[in-house]
């Protein structure tokens, strides 16, 4: 029973010169509960837009997405309750401490006061945030901020975690912490869908991978399935081969990453 | 009460964060506390210094002489000098009784006058060689026979120095003139009163507080309004555009919180800060006026007292104003993606607020008619009225209600903008493009934003129209009815229809132009025919609780006289048919269908009914009109068609007209010469109530879908 189902998702944006841009153009996939799904593609491929539609942040122009039995378009609030969403360029409230931010979001998710405290303490333990939990966010390092953001995404105890570029711009050490965390969440039965353009990272951590380009899902499957279909060994080679073909079809001559 | 808890959470967090910002604190607390004392005391000091200086400043008086008669030069100077000495002696003689009197000032003002001789006085004054010029008109006659002497003082009106100099020189001559008169009177043995055979004096009956209110009323309201607006600027930008710029907005949108709640929470914070700012400004201003010696200064003559105790009341009245402006600011800033952009958007808003505010601050602008409904202006005027000690409940209600209508619309707009995808995700699409018509999807109903903004804009326009077509003294009220019949379709039907067409909303579904099932029409007939009876009783009941002014009761007579010599169809068309069609299309059609998707059934019906009642100017009839609006709204909501409510409305108004114009109808019911406050016979009340209840039941039962 897939916990996430995207069916022919499409999103078109008007552009200032009066035309429509199809950022996502008929993407369909299914994700089984308890797996890590990686969405890979160059910049501007439509990864972020796809994730935003899954998270109910923007409405699809057509098509539908079902998460945990709720239709995202029809019932975005039910969906938002069951997911945690980590955005790419996450901002934090500079004048609040991580603890205060977590408390704030816990209340927004409708947690009762005693449950809020419990949950916030647990997350600070879980992500080892004790050393900076009570400092103002303005004074934190990039890695500390990213941990705070992840804790924020987890505060509603979601069953699905959507992470848009979770390791973007992090140093090796912080990167390691985040990947370890994703594995731990996975071990606890969470379903995780993440987008990235670090290929080796996706190769090591994801159960299934979807390759997206020009708003279309080009290929999808486990690492083995992708290798079998393309005849290439490394993900980077598969990536280049697929997108090389795609580029020939792309009349706009779209770029590669 | 989950919703309220979430809003409270947002409110608390935003307020905490904002108060941790040093910039907010400086703008909100330091500025008002330090500013007023400096500003007021400084300017008062400067004014008094300048005034005093001008009285004792050295001035130069030029005297004309004829170059061809140089021998006249010295005598002319001597003549003027003698006159100055004489004036000084007169003042000295009178000085002993009251040394603090203005006379002592007069002395000082005479001491510092220099005399120069010039060949062309006019040119000398114009070039600034002397401050004023004195020209004696010689009449050539002998000195022994005194006749009227003529002196012309030349001065330069564009020069402040010259203007104060002319006053001082004129005083000298007037003093001499008075003295001369006295001497003549004594000589001729005439009584002094002959100078002033009818002594006129005006006495002020205003209380010192009222005079003080007048002083405060000319400046305080505008300053407060400005300060409230200023206080809202920074938080409004910070909580909307600032949040977007810092990238925290996306994390908020991820949460299961409806944008309206987010916006309400944020908006309440802005309103709170604006109120706190206004309160601090008011306290600081009051304290400065009181302790800064200002009160003492203006009340030196004892007939002025600043009504500082009214200031807290004004603060209360300022609440809806702060709410309105915070809403507008938040709505405007929601369009901006960055702090800078938001600042650019805010400037025109402040300028737009200054115009009605400035007009209101001008003496002579009164809080009546349309002015009570013009935003900013009504608040400035109301504050001034209060400082003058006028507390008129009806006017206060008008101002408050209309301000609330505007504020509510602004908040709705803000939450709509704030949840627009293009506005949240700066990278996803052009915000401007998403507003262009080509990308608007055709819809069945207007958005609540469109409906509410249109209402908020139409409201003052319609009020203005209503007031401007009130009959003049020599005009028949028929003119007003005719004008209304012309303008109503334009304002309430044509404008909304054009907007619907622009925004690609299906007119038929939006205005409910599809046919209604017969039973709704039956319900409408019952309600329309019987409705006037409970309405009449309700009005009589209201009169029993709080008596209705005579003028309103007599409006029926003006109505009758307006349609004298006209066929019955004229009042039926102008009062029953046209208003019923237009008002229903706008209120139950446009506005209600705008709220249909975003608001709960009864909330929507009640909001529309209240707006409907406010549009009817006469606040005395607010309750009745609102109740009628609720019934009509219910009819429309149930039937999903506009026709039943048009029918009911038309019948309702038509019957009222018929009873007024055809006496035999009332006679047949045994109620001839019905006064609006008389009760109807019991059996008629019973029948009328039964018809209305029956109509409502039919509308309710037949809700099959």
B251 and A57 within 8 Å at the Cβ level: the answer is no
**Which residue does chain B place closest to A17, by CA atoms?**
B433
- Assess A159–B contact: CB distance below 8 Å, yes or no: no
Specify the CATH number for the domain of residue A12. Answer: 3.40.50.300
Give the separation between CA B584 and CA B492, rounded to whole angstroms: 9
Domain, as residue range, for A206: 2-91+159-249
Q: What is the least distance, in Å, from the CA of A208 to any CA of chain B?
A: 25
CB under 8 Å to B191, separation ≥6 — which residues?
B185
A22-58 residue pLDDT tens: 888 889 999 999 899 999 888 888 888 899 888 888 8
Q: How far is CA B187 from CA A195, B113, B125, B173, B234, in A?
A: 113, 32, 39, 21, 77
Place of tokens 């009197």: B101
Place of tokens 């404008």: B495
B539-553 residue pLDDT tens: 888 888 777 777 666
- Assess B432–A contact: CB distance below 8 Å, yes or no: yes
- Assess B257–A contact: CB distance below 8 Å, yes or no: yes
Last residue of a domain, one of B380, B412, B439: B439
Q: Is residue B428 pLDDT above 50, yes or no?
A: no
Task: Yes or no: say if A9 and A26 are a contact pair by the CB < 8 Å rule.
Answer: yes
- Assess B204–A contact: CB distance below 8 Å, yes or no: no
Domain count, chain A: 1
Classify residue A199: in a domain, yes or no.
yes
Looking at the fold, whether B137 and B224 belong to one and the same domain comes out as no
Residue B252 with chain A: CB contacts under 8 Å? 108
- Assess B255–A contact: CB distance below 8 Å, yes or no: yes
Classify residue A150: in a domain, yes or no.
no
Closest CA to B632 of B556, B579, B570, B569: B579
Residues 32-51 of A with CB under 8 A from B: 49
Probe site for chain A from B9, B243, B256 (most A CB atoms < 10 A): B256
Looking at the fold, whether B294 and B215 belong to one and the same domain comes out as yes
Q: What is the percent of chain B with per-residue pLDDT over 70, rounded to a whole number?
A: 85
Q: What is the percent of chain A with per-residue pLDDT over 70, rounded to a whole number?
A: 93
Give B654 or B470, the one with higher predicted confidence.
B654
A199-226 residue pLDDT tens: 888 888 899 999 888 888 888 888 888 8
B215-274 residue pLDDT tens: 777 777 878 888 888 888 888 888 888 888 888 888 888 888 887 788 888 888 998 888
- Assess B421–A contact: CB distance below 8 Å, yes or no: yes
Task: Yes or no: say if B547 and B576 are a contact pair by the CB < 8 Å rule.
Answer: no
Domain, as residue range, for B158: 52-193
Task: Yes or no: say if B435 and A18 are a contact pair by the CB < 8 Å rule.
Answer: no
- Assess B256–A contact: CB distance below 8 Å, yes or no: yes
Residue B5 with chain A: CB contacts under 8 Å? 107
Give the torsion through C-alpha atoms of B384, B387, B391, B394, to 10 deg.
Answer: 10
Classify residue A137: in a domain, yes or no.
no
Looking at the fold, whether B35 and B102 belong to one and the same domain comes out as no
Classify residue A52: in a domain, yes or no.
yes
**Which residue does chain A place closest to B435, by CA atoms?**
A14
Closest CA to B611 of B359, B471, B444, B412: B412
In this prediction, residue B645 has a pLDDT band, given cuts at 50, 70 and 90, of: very high
Written as one string, the DSSP assignment of B447-471 is -HHHHHHHHHHHHHHHHHHHHHTSP
Classify residue A32: in a domain, yes or no.
yes
SS (H, E, C) chain A: CEEEEEEEEEEEEECCCCCEEEEEEEEEEEEECCCEEEEECCCCCCHHHHHHHHCCCCCCCEEEEEECCEECCCCHHHHHHHEEEECCCCCCCCCCCHHHHHHHHHHHCCCCHHHHHHHHHHHHHHCCCCCCCCCCHHHCCHHHHHHHHHHHHHCCCCCEEEEECCCCCCCHHHHHHHHHHHHHHHHCCCEEEEEECCHHHHHHHCCEEEEEECCEEEEEEEHHHHHHHHCCCCHHHHHHHHHHHHHHHCCCCCCCC
Q: Is A169 left (phi over 0), alpha (psi -120 to 50) or beta?
A: left
**Residue B483 structure tokens:** 């004008």
Give the separation between CA B339 and CA B73, rounded to whole angstroms: 73
Q: What is the percent of chain A with per-residue pLDDT over 90, rounded to a whole number?
A: 23
B253 and A57 within 8 Å at the Cβ level: the answer is yes
Helices (H), B477-617: 477-488, 495-502, 507-510, 518-530, 532-545, 550-553, 555-562, 569-571, 578-583, 592-596, 601-614
Last residue of a domain, one of B411, B439, B467: B439
A49 and B433 within 8 Å at the Cβ level: the answer is no
A54-87 residue pLDDT tens: 888 888 888 889 998 888 888 888 888 889 988 8
B508-535 residue pLDDT tens: 888 888 888 888 999 999 999 888 888 8
Give the separation between CA B425 and CA A53, rounded to whole angstroms: 12
Q: Is residue B421 pLDDT above 80, yes or no?
A: no
**Which residue does chain A place closest to B428, by CA atoms?**
A13
Task: Yes or no: say if B154 and B169 are a contact pair by the CB < 8 Å rule.
Answer: no
Burial class of B664 by CB neighbour count within 10 A (0 to 12, 13 to 18, 19+): exposed
Give the separation between CA B327 and CA B410, rounded to whole angstroms: 5
Closest CA to B622 of B512, B535, B700, B520: B535
Give the separation between CA B527 and CA B649, rounded to whole angstroms: 9
CB under 8 Å to B362, separation ≥6 — which residues?
none
Q: Which of A16, A90, A105 sits opposite B433 (nearest CB)?
A: A16
Give the separation between CA A168 and CA A180, rounded to whole angstroms: 15
- Assess B441–A contact: CB distance below 8 Å, yes or no: no
Q: Which of A90, A94, A100 sits opposite B251 (nearest CB)?
A: A90
Handedness of CA B386, B389, B395, B397 (dihedral sign): positive
Looking at the fold, whether B188 and B211 belong to one and the same domain comes out as no
Residues 83-112 of A with CB under 8 A from B: 85, 87, 89-96, 100, 104-105, 107-110
B5 and A107 within 8 Å at the Cβ level: the answer is yes
Classify residue B473: in a domain, yes or no.
no
Closest CA to B631 of B657, B613, B611, B606: B606
Looking at the fold, whether B572 and B694 belong to one and the same domain comes out as yes
Give the mean pLDDT of chain A. 85
Written as one string, the DSSP assignment of B529-566 is HHTHHHHHHHHHHHHHHSPPPHHHHTHHHHHHHHTTTS
A104 and B13 within 8 Å at the Cβ level: the answer is yes
**Residue B588 structure tokens:** 């139950």
Q: Is residue A99 pLDDT above 60, yes or no?
A: yes
Give the separation between CA B580 and CA B564, rounded to whole angstroms: 23
Residue B261 with chain A: CB contacts under 8 Å? none
Q: What is the mean pLDDT of residues B91-118?
A: 68
**Which residue does chain A place closest to B12, by CA atoms?**
A104
Written as one string, the DSSP assignment of B73-94 is HHHHHHHHHHHHHHHHHHHHHH
Cβ-Cβ contacts under 8 Å between A and B: the total is 98
Classify residue A144: in a domain, yes or no.
no
Give the separation between CA B288 and CA B283, rounded to whole angstroms: 8
B20-36 residue pLDDT tens: 887 777 777 777 777 77
Task: Yes or no: say if B517 and B702 are a contact pair by the CB < 8 Å rule.
Answer: yes
CB under 8 Å to A8, separation ≥6 — which residues?
A26, A27, A28, A62, A63, A64
Q: What is the DSSP-derived secondary structure letter of residue B505?
A: B
Burial class of A57 by CB neighbour count within 10 A (0 to 12, 13 to 18, 19+): buried
Residue A163 with chain B: CB contacts under 8 Å? none
Looking at the fold, whether B29 and B96 belong to one and the same domain comes out as no
Give the separation between CA B386 and CA B392, rounded to whole angstroms: 9
Beta strands per DSSP E along B21-140: 59-64, 113-118, 132-137
Residues 107-126 of A with CB under 8 A from B: 107-110
Q: What is the mean pLDDT of residues A121-134?
A: 91
B253 and A152 within 8 Å at the Cβ level: the answer is no
Looking at the fold, whether B183 and B300 belong to one and the same domain comes out as no
Residue B255 with chain A: CB contacts under 8 Å? 80, 105, 108-109, 156
Interface predicted TM-score (ipTM) of this complex, two decimals: 0.84
Task: Yes or no: say if B645 and B511 are a contact pair by the CB < 8 Å rule.
Answer: no
A77 and B433 within 8 Å at the Cβ level: the answer is no
Q: Which of A57, A92, A94 sits opposite B254 (nearest CB)?
A: A57
Give the separation between CA B497 and CA B255, rounded to whole angstroms: 37
Q: What is the mean pLDDT of residues B370-398?
A: 83
Give the separation between CA B633 and CA B609, rounded to whole angstroms: 7
In this prediction, residue B108 has a pLDDT band, given cuts at 50, 70 and 90, of: low
Looking at the fold, whether B429 and B336 belong to one and the same domain comes out as yes
Give B559 or A92, the one with higher predicted confidence.
A92
Classify residue A84: in a domain, yes or no.
yes
Looking at the fold, whether B60 and B34 belong to one and the same domain comes out as no
Q: What is the least distance, in Å, from the CA of A30 to any CA of chain B?
A: 22
Give the separation between CA B463 and CA B487, rounded to whole angstroms: 12
Residue B2 with chain A: CB contacts under 8 Å? 110
B10 and A108 within 8 Å at the Cβ level: the answer is yes
| Structure confidence at residue A106 (pLDDT) | 92
Residue A85 with chain B: CB contacts under 8 Å? 254
Q: How far is CA A184 from CA A81, A126, B247, in A?
A: 21, 10, 28
Q: Is residue B430 pLDDT above 60, yes or no?
A: no
Closest CA to B164 of B53, B45, B44, B46: B53
Looking at the fold, whether B158 and B253 belong to one and the same domain comes out as no
Q: At what angle do helices B339-361 and B220-237 cross, to 10 degrees?
A: 170
Give the mean pLDDT of chain B. 80
- Assess B57–A contact: CB distance below 8 Å, yes or no: no
Q: What is the mean pLDDT of residues B318-332?
A: 84
Looking at the fold, whether B234 and B378 belong to one and the same domain comes out as yes
Handedness of CA A93, A94, A95, A98 (dihedral sign): positive
A91 and B438 within 8 Å at the Cβ level: the answer is no
Classify residue B452: in a domain, yes or no.
no
| Structure confidence at residue B705 (pLDDT) | 42
Q: Is residue A162 pLDDT above 50, yes or no?
A: yes
Domain count, chain B: 4
Classify residue A254: in a domain, yes or no.
no
Q: Maximum Cα–Cα distance for chain B, whole Å?
A: 115
Q: What is the least distance, in Å, from the CA of B259 to any CA of chain A?
A: 11
Classify residue B245: in a domain, yes or no.
yes
| Structure confidence at residue B473 (pLDDT) | 63
**Which residue does chain B place closest to A105, by CA atoms?**
B255
CB under 8 Å to B255, separation ≥6 — which residues?
A80, A105, A108, A109, A156
Looking at the fold, whether B35 and B56 belong to one and the same domain comes out as no
Q: Is residue B564 pLDDT above 90, yes or no?
A: no
């Amino acid at each position: 029973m897939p916990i996430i189902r995207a069916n022919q998702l499409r999103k078109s944006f008007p552009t200032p010169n009066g035309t429509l841009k199809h950022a996502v153009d008929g993407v369909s996939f299914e994700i089984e509960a308890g797996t890590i799904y990686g969405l890979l593609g160059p910049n501007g491929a439509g990864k972020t837009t796809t994730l935003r539609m899954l998270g109910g942040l923007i409405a699809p122009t057509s098509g539908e997405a079902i998460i945990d039995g709720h239709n995202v378009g029809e019932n975005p609030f039910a969906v938002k309750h069951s997911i945690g969403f980590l955005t790419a360029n996450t901002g934090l409230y500079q004048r609040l401490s991580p603890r205060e931010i977590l408390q704030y979001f816990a209340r927004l998710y409708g947690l009762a006061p005693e449950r809020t405290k419990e949950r916030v303490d647990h997350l600070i333990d879980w992500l080892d945030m004790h050393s900076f939990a009570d400092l103002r966010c303005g004074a934190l390092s990039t890695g500390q901020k990213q941990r705070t953001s992840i804790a924020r995404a987890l505060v509603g105890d979601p069953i699905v975690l959507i992470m848009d570029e979770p390791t973007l711009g992090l140093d090796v050490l912080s990167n390691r912490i985040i990947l370890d965390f994703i594995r731990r969440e996975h071990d606890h039965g969470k379903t995780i869908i993440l987008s990235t353009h670090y290929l080796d990272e996706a190769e090591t951590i994801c159960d299934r991978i979807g390759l997206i380009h020009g708003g279309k899902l080009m290929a999808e499957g486990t690492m083995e399935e992708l290798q079998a279909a393309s005849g290439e060994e490394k993900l980077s080679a598969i990536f280049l081969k697929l997108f090389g073909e795609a580029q020939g079809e792309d009349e706009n001559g779209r770029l590669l990453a | 009460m989950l919703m309220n808890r979430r809003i409270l959470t947002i409110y608390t967090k935003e307020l905490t964060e904002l108060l941790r910002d040093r910039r907010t604190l400086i703008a909100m607390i330091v500025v008002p506390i330090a500013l007023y004392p400096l500003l007021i005391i400084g300017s008062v000091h400067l004014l008094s210094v300048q005034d005093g200086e001008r009285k004792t400043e050295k001035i130069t008086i030029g005297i004309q002489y004829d170059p061809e008669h140089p021998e006249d030069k010295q005598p002319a100077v001597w003549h003027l000098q003698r006159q100055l000495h004489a004036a000084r002696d007169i003042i000295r003689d009178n000085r002993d009784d009251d040394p603090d009197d203005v006379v002592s000032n007069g002395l000082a003002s005479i001491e510092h006058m220099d005399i120069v001789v010039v060949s062309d006085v006019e040119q000398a004054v114009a070039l600034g060689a002397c401050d004023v010029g004195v020209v004696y008109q010689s009449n050539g006659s002998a000195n022994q026979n005194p006749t009227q002497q003529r002196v012309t003082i030349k001065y330069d009106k564009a020069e402040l120095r010259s203007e104060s100099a002319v006053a001082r020189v004129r005083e000298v001559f007037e003093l001499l003139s008075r003295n001369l008169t006295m001497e003549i009177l004594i000589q001729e043995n005439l009584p002094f009163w002959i100078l002033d055979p009818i002594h006129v004096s005006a006495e002020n009956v205003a209380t010192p507080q009222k005079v003080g209110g007048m002083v405060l009323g000319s400046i305080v309201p505008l300053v407060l309004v400005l300060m409230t607006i200023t206080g809202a600027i920074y938080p409004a930008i910070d909580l909307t555009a600032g949040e977007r710029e810092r990238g925290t907005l996306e994390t908020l949108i991820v949460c299961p919180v409806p944008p309206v709640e987010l916006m309400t929470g944020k908006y309440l914070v802005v309103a709170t800060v604006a109120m706190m700012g206004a309160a601090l400004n008011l306290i600081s201003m009051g304290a400065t006026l009181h302790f800064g010696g200002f009160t003492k200064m203006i009340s030196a003559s004892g007939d002025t007292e600043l009504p500082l105790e009214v200031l807290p009341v004004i603060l209360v009245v300022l609440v809806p104003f702060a709410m309105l402006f915070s809403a507008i600011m938040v709505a405007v800033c929601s369009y901006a993606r960055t702090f800078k952009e938001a600042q650019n958007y805010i400037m025109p808003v402040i300028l737009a607020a200054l115009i009605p505010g400035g007009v209101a601050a001008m003496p002579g602008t009164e809080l009546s008619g349309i002015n009570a409904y013009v935003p900013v202006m009504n608040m400035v005027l109301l504050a001034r009225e209060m400082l003058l000690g006028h507390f008129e409940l009806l006017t206060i209600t008008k101002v408050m209600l209309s301000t609330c209508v505007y504020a509510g619309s602004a908040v709705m707009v803000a939450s709509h903008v704030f949840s627009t995808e293009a506005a949240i995700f700066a990278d996803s699409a052009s915000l401007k493009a998403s507003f262009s018509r080509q990308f608007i999807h055709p819809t069945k109903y207007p958005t609540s934003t469109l409906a509410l903004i249109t209402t908020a804009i139409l409201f003052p326009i319609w009020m203005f129209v209503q007031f401007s077509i009130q009959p003049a003294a020599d005009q028949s009220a028929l003119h007003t009815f005719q004008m209304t019949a012309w303008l109503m379709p334009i304002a309430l039907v044509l404008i909304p229809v054009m907007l619907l067409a622009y925004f690609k909303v299906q007119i038929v579904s939006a205005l409910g132009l599809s046919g209604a099932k017969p039973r709704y029409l039956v319900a409408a007939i019952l309600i329309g025919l019987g409705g006037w009876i409970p309405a009449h009783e309700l009005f009589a009941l209201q009169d029993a609780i709080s008596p209705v002014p005579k003028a309103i009761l007599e409006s029926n007579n003006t109505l009758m006289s307006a349609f004298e010599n006209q066929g019955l169809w004229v009042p039926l068309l102008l009062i029953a048919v046209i208003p019923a069609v237009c008002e229903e299309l706008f209120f139950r059609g446009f506005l209600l269908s705008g709220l249909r998707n975003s608001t709960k059934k009864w909330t929507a019906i009640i909001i529309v009914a209240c707006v409907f009642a406010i549009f009817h100017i006469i606040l005395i009839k607010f309750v009745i009109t609102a109740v009628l609006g609720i019934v009509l709204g219910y009819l429309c909501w149930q039937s999903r068609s506009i026709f039943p409510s048009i029918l009911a409305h038309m019948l309702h108004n038509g019957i009222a007209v018929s009873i007024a114009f055809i006496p035999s109808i009332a006679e047949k019911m045994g109620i001839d010469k019905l006064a609006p406050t008389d009760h109807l016979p019991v059996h008629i009340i019973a029948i009328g109530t039964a018809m209305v209840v029956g109509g409502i039941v039919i509308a309710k039962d037949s809700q099959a879908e």
